[in-house]
Structure 1
Amino acid sequence: MDLFGIGQLIDPADLTLGGCGSTGLDSTASVVVFETELQGCGSTLMMTEDSLIYGFDLNYQPKALGDTPIVRTNEAVVGIQCHYMRLHNVSSNALQPTWIPYRSTMSAEDVLVFSLRLMTDDWQAERTSNVFFLGDTMNIEASVVQANHVPLRVFADSCVATLVPDLNAVPRYAFIENHGCLMDAKLTDSRSKFLPRVQDDKLKIQLDSFRFFQDSRSSVYIICHLKATAASATTDSQYKACSFSTAANRWMAAGGNDQVCGCCDASCGFRKGRSVEAALQGEGDATLGPIIVQSAQEAEPEFQMLPVVTKDHKAAAASPEVVVLAAVVAIAGLVCVTVLLTVLLRKRHKLSV
């Protein structure tokens, strides 16, 4: 199986699905078969307004070749997603009349459903690829399904990035904290920010892509604790979406009330004189990932560096110093040949006399 498309075959035994080994192999079709429950093999569940999405990591961990200590392929993690429509059963057949849609069940139990999605650059659709390069901007949409609930406004209370889908994993990077303060631009001088609100039940986050220092793994998971309040409630230090503007050197709110962001450099505690619990309609965690963040070196095979080396050699050969040196050598050689011919002619003349 040529996993990387470089003509180097891999051993299917080096492939695992979230730590689970394969259950079958079709060598003729170059197909490796994995069978697992949707909740098995380290899967993660994400929910959107229309879909249930089960995410898996296909891991490739090459072993040394034969009795040698070498490998000829890199490690790799490939994200796999299984999408199921929330208003249909898992076989996508028509619903039976006695089956109660998931959203109706959630509404009846007064349970809110929070989700995170990667969006396209125009924010009009969910992004089909989870692969980014360093320097790219990730568009992340946090949302809450309202169903028959009162109109809601969603907030990202806190968000962390990890290498595995575990909130407490190490290393971890808390880029939203203090009840809705997006710290990334403040800490790293990035372009990360909340975009101005267009819909109360959706919150748009732009996050500059990154990788963890001195770690070769390219997969990143984002885990956020989301909260929802009544859309009619006013924002305050507990329910806000604040970004740091490096150009203006100040905090700015996605809803326009910048005063609620005044505590982002300190501690955003409870404000006296207001019942915070009365404003809160629901809260929950949502996970996004794996997001694959690659460096430029990973995007191009090593053999593509050869033309660069060739160009460097050509540039050196065309430098003025090399041209002058070549001219001096040529002149010296011409003088030597002239002198040698003169000596030979004189000797020949003497012999003839």
Structure 2
Amino acid sequence: MSPSCAASLLIAEYKDQVTTIPEGGSDKSKDIEVLCHIDRMYVRVRRDMFKTPHAYKFLKLGRCPVNAGKKEHFFLLHALKSNCGFKKMSNKDCVIISIVLTFHPNTPILRDLPFEVKLQCRYPRFFHSYKVGFIPQIQGGTVYRQLPSRSTFVLTPQDESGNNIMGSRTFVLGQPMFFQAGGPSSMTSAGQKRVYIQKCHITISQNPNASPSYTVIDNQGCMIESKITPTSAFIKGNQKKIQRFTVPAFIFKDQASSASTQQLFMHCQIYVGPLTPTPSSKACNFDPVSKKWKELHGPNSVCDCCESTCPSPHPRGNVQCCNLQSVLEG
């Protein structure tokens, strides 16, 4: 660490010391004084530098004016992220924040000469915990974060061959999008259990409560989207600890624009239930030929409630989310 950075460190860490900008070695070396905070610059200027009481009107820190005044000083305190005009530079040791203190009176006559003084605050790029401390500041705002599932349910985007898709993928409108819902590893020894998908909906945000939202599976395992297009369906398989399904790609109308791309998020409620399906735990597709609902691995009668309201099994699963993209081409 260079000596200049080490010296500035005492200033940057909220010390009540003042760094003086020398005025050419004159006796009035403390006419202009600077205190560097971690997020703002504090400047005070002696009043007796000026001959007129209204000189503060023409004194500026970059583009920012005097904040306050007392008997002996004018004060300028401004955040480094303000629009005053702070400039940021850096080298291998320091981050340097600089700005110019100006006095340019625009009166018809002058009783005080204009001046410009360049001010700097130097902050070390590296901090050592045994030398200094810092006080963190908590900023408000909302951050949505996918929480790890204690029951280890997983919802994974796949291709039609059953291979997992890593990251995001682009789809053309109407192209099938495949997903696999997997249960916890404890299902291996659980015996007569099966994974059920209670509900799935799609949003343009990681927030499952965001709007707009489009539901594809509802009513405790009814693929309601299959009544609109047969491309939407639960996929039959031999393994009961996973459940695959497919939905054709789309975009939200209200969010559409020419040659637009929408990033979509699938949110699902996954449940481990009995091996034999019930009206509360099932995987039902609508058959457009017979105009009836059909269950993948059990009697179709459990799907009769898909046209009304199916009873809830009070699932122990939680919401799982994965990311996909749908692209309009044409």
CA positional deviation for 1:197: 3.0
Is this contact kept in 1: 2:234–2:244, CA < 8 A? yes
CA positional deviation for 1:169: 1.1
Q: State the alpha-carbon separation in 1 of the partners of residues 293 and 329 from structure 2.
A: 33
Structure 2 residue aligned with 1:114: 153
Please state whether the residue corresponding to 2:253 is helix, strand or coil. coil
More helix by share: 1
Deviations along 1:48-101, one digit per CA (max 9) or x if unpaired, are xxxxxxxxxxxxxxxxxxxxxxxxxxxxxxxxxxxxxxxxxxxxxxxxxxxxxx
Structure 1 residue aligned with 2:248: 208
- 1:153 matched to 2:194? The reply is yes
Structure 2 residue aligned with 1:292: 325
CA positional deviation for 1:257: 2.0
Please state whether the residue corresponding to 1:261 is helix, strand or coil. helix
Out of 161, 177, 180, the residue aligned to residue 138 of structure 1 is 177
1:264-303 aligned at under 5 Å gives the runs: 264-269=306-311, 282-289=316-323, 291-297=324-330
Q: State the alpha-carbon separation in 1 of the partners of residues 142 and 157 from structure 2.
A: 23
Structure 2 residue aligned with 1:127: 165
- 1:237 matched to 2:279? The reply is yes
CA positional deviation for 1:44: 5.0
1:1-353 aligned at under 5 Å gives the runs: 44-45=145-146, 111-123=150-162, 125-128=163-166, 130-147=169-186, 149-151=189-191, 152-186=193-227, 188-216=228-256, 218-231=262-275, 234-269=276-311, 282-289=316-323, 291-297=324-330
Please state whether the residue corresponding to 2:306 is helix, strand or coil. coil
Is this contact kept in 2: 1:46–1:287, CA < 8 A? no
Deviations along 1:29-48, one digit per CA (max 9) or x if unpaired, are xxxxxxxxxxx99675487x
Distance 1:193 1:212, change over 3 A: same
Deviations along 1:177-220, one digit per CA (max 9) or x if unpaired, are 1100011121x234100011321110010111111113135111
Structure 1 residue aligned with 2:94: none
TM-score (norm 2): 0.51
Is this contact kept in 1: 2:180–2:242, CA < 8 A? yes
What is the total number of aligned residue pairs between the two structures? 184
Is this contact kept in 2: 1:190–1:208, CA < 8 A? no
Q: State the alpha-carbon separation in 2 of the partners of residues 252 and 209 from structure 1.
A: 24
Q: State the alpha-carbon separation in 2 of the partners of residues 45 and 219 from structure 1.
A: 17
Is this contact kept in 1: 2:144–2:207, CA < 8 A? no
CA positional deviation for 1:241: 0.6
Q: State the alpha-carbon separation in 1 of the partners of residues 147 and 231 from structure 2.
A: 27
CA positional deviation for 1:269: 2.3
Please state whether the residue corresponding to 1:203 is helix, strand or coil. strand
Distance 1:222 1:255, change over 3 A: same
More strand by share: 2
| Ranges in structure 2 where 5+ consecutive residues have no aligned partner | 1-140
Distance 1:246 1:256, change over 3 A: same
Distance 1:173 1:149, change over 3 A: same
Distance 1:42 1:132, change over 3 A: farther
Please state whether the residue corresponding to 2:182 is helix, strand or coil. strand
| Ranges in structure 1 where 5+ consecutive residues have no aligned partner | 1-39, 48-105, 271-275, 298-353
Is this contact kept in 2: 1:46–1:286, CA < 8 A? no
Distance 1:267 1:43, change over 3 A: closer
Q: State the alpha-carbon separation in 1 of the partners of residues 294 and 237 from structure 2.
A: 13
Q: State the alpha-carbon separation in 1 of the partners of residues 206 and 189 from structure 2.
A: 30
Deviations along 1:263-286, one digit per CA (max 9) or x if unpaired, are 10111126xxxxx56xx6x31110
Distance 1:45 1:269, change over 3 A: closer
TM-score (norm 1): 0.48
Task: Please report the RMSD computed on the Cα atoms of aligned residues, expressed in angstroms.
Answer: 2.6
Please state whether the residue corresponding to 1:184 is helix, strand or coil. helix
Please state whether the residue corresponding to 2:171 is helix, strand or coil. strand
Please state whether the residue corresponding to 2:240 is helix, strand or coil. coil
Is this contact kept in 2: 1:197–1:255, CA < 8 A? no
Is this contact kept in 2: 1:167–1:223, CA < 8 A? yes
CA radius of gyration, larger in: 2
Please state whether the residue corresponding to 1:206 is helix, strand or coil. strand
Q: State the alpha-carbon separation in 1 of the partners of residues 278 and 294 from structure 2.
A: 13
CA positional deviation for 1:237: 0.5
Deviations along 1:308-345, one digit per CA (max 9) or x if unpaired, are xxxxxxxxxxxxxxxxxxxxxxxxxxxxxxxxxxxxxx
Identity across the alignment (%)? 22
Distance 1:214 1:168, change over 3 A: same
Q: State the alpha-carbon separation in 2 of the partners of residues 237 and 146 from structure 1.
A: 25
Distance 1:130 1:41, change over 3 A: farther
Is this contact kept in 1: 2:277–2:298, CA < 8 A? no
